[in-house]
Amino acid sequence: MVMACSVRSGGNMDLTKVTPLPWTSETLDAFTRSVQANPWGPFESPEEVLGGSVAFLVEEGATRVLLAVRPLPLSHGRRLDVVGLAGQGSYCKSSVVDAGAVMAARQFGCSMVAMQTQNPKVARGALREGWTTTGAILTKWINTQ
């Protein structure tokens, strides 16, 4: 299934396409950097970070982004967690990431999208697209020996 919608990007109306991808070794490899940047660090393996997620290719003009998303049924609705993000090329527009996440959320009937990142550039881009910071992830290593 290919989903498409019009989004405003850089003052031009571009068509954003979102296509589900099969999980192959190439798809998994594309998310390597995203998995390594996972806020939970070495506590989660690639299988734990990406397990149960669906991969999508998001395209708008020359911009191509891979998203891995996991829908979560909750007591009062559904949330879509963006668990992987991989730009294809040197530049990734935040508007393309946002459009892809919103379109995937609609496909799964989710009323909220959430993402954790350690990358300040990704966070700033999401904020520009209307995302809200709702808290912080604080971690502290404990010596258990």
Q: What is the CATH number of the domain that holds 41?
A: 3.40.630
Does 23 fall in a domain? Answer: yes
Of residues 48 and 138, the one with the higher pLDDT is: 48
The pLDDT of residue 13:
38
Q: Which domain holds residue 118?
A: 3-128
| Residue 124: inside a domain | yes
Q: What average pLDDT does the segment 101-126 reach?
A: 92
**Residue 134: inside a domain:** no
In the prediction, which pLDDT does 90 show? 60
Residue 79 lies in a domain: yes
Q: For residue 62, is it within any domain? A: yes
What's the total number of domains in the chain?
1
pLDDT of 117 reads 86
Tell me whether strands 12-21 and 3-9 are parallel, antiparallel or unpaired. Answer: antiparallel
Q: So what's the pLDDT on residue 111?
A: 94
Answer for the pair 86, 49: CB distance below 8 angstroms, yes or no: no
Structure confidence by residue, pLDDT tens digits, 4-47: 444 444 433 358 899 999 999 999 999 998 998 888 777 788 88
pLDDT score of 56? 97
pLDDT higher at 98 or 14? 98
Q: How does pLDDT run across 48-93, given as a tens digit for each residue? A: 999 999 999 999 988 899 999 999 999 999 999 999 999 876 667 8
Query: What pLDDT is stored for residue 110 in this prediction?
Result: 96
Please name the residue that has the structure tokens 């979102």: 18
Neighbouring residues of 14: CB distance < 8 A, sequence distance ≥ 6: 6, 7, 60, 61
Is the residue at 16 inside a domain?
yes
The pTM (predicted TM-score) of the whole model is 0.84
